[in-house]
Structure 1
Amino acid sequence: MLEETISEIRSFVRETSLTDKRILVLFSGGKDSSLTLYLLKEAGLDVSALTFFHRWSWHETLRWAMKFTRKLGVEHYLVDITDGLLREAVGRKGPVCIHCKRVMLWNAKWFALNNGFEILAKGDNANDKIIGALLDQCKGDIRLCRIPRIGLPILRPLIKYTAEEVERLAEEADVRPYRMYEHSRRRQWREGCPLQYIDKEETIKPELMDMAYRVNYEVSKIARRRRVRVSVRVPSFEIMCWDCDEETLREIKSLLEEVRGR
């Protein structure tokens, strides 16, 4: 399946005249973006990676991403968006991800234009919600969207593959991102950053951002040791867990009581 996918990408980029274009992959260090970077590199394209991070990003994931790009031999840019995220999100209602994505896309556009990149690439797969989104407006093959508002074509080589197919491809390519053992929104591995666990009805504040990081980082240690997937919403301290037994839940609740008492 992997060789067929790489061959299909090669054919597609030839048909769309992307072979000699400089491509900038929005690279979070997760499975989808890691696989996208791997496939485009294996297809012989001129690719670089762009990773956004902020004060509350998982350090472990960032370190893994840097090792991965070194192994692939691709140029890797790191951009701190802490100030932009605070400016865009604080004082507004959640989820934080909506505000963060806006900051990232804006920064990606101008970073690409100012550094000579001609294409942006993303790791969206067929299970991602795209109905009604800006990228739904593209005409023709949805793998390549030319949208004037963004100013650069966006390449999505995985958009016709389901999450299950992406898992198979990643396994075959031996692409194994670092896991924080988050609960995530879906049963498939779908991790992000701890800020997504701020309760939606809450007004976003730096104190809540700090709490979301601190609580979920501590919980991730339990999740990793017990091989379950756990996240905690704040400030409600709602526990979300895949496959937790009673003993694990007791340990998590005990930890949360300690955190509340500090």
Structure 2
Amino acid sequence: MTKEGKPALTVRSLSKSFGGVKAIDNVSLTLDAGCSRVLIGPNGAGKTTLFNLITGEIPMDEGEIYLFGVDISQAKIQKRSELGLTRTYQISNLFKELTVEENLYLSLKDKQWNSQGDFSSLWTSWMKSYKRVQRIEEVLASVGLEGKRQTLVSSLAHGEQRQLELGMAISSNPRIIFFDEPMAGLSPNERVFMGKLIRKLAAEKIILVIEHDMDFALSLTDDVTVLDHGRVIAEGRPEEIKSNPEVKKIYKLG
């Protein structure tokens, strides 16, 4: 719970249809402050659609969404961002013609660097830039890209681009982060490194992770939600999820 006694995220009876087909069907979930959750399910289960509804990228048909106690059901993406929500995407969403540093610079929100006084003054402009540079250095160190500051994003390995996406997500110090299949397309070594970064982040931030790799997902947190055909079919701890008959059926577990 937050200090005000409100969960970080509350989703109530959320539904969305496309062409008469229900992609999300009466989904409810709660994410308490200080906790993280993974969202798993087979391809086509509706996981990314659920993310897109919560982040405001597509409108809902029915339901309610509350972020830190604020009703954001009809709020624009910017409002949700101002409340501290950010996300990554399953497919890289970077400015590949720019450098690593330039991508991070653009990801920093002005509201994080405002100071008291005359915002048009040279001093304020310099301080805002100085603080951005400091923050960029901190982010680069936290995601293991210290030596790639001036590298063009197009020259980065796929795993490094994923690290940069993570860095851009945390750069403005959000309160809650959504990760959409952060392990997609990574090599075994890259997966190990990314897993360490996300586990460290899960200890510091509220995160909600979509992950196709069930073993990694169940090692990340004690709170798991399983979607199938747009509906929640199971919630619980990893051991409960592994033994759930419906989950075993859709994942063809022994």
* Interval of TM-score (by shorter of Structure 1 and Structure 2): under 0.3
Which gives a bigger RCO, structure 1 or 2 (Cα 8 Å, sep 6+)? 2
TM-score, normalization by structure 1: 0.26
Query: TM-score if structure 2 supplies the norm length?
Result: 0.27
Looking at secondary structure, tell me which structure has more strand per residue: 2
Choose between structure 1 and 2: higher helix proportion. 1
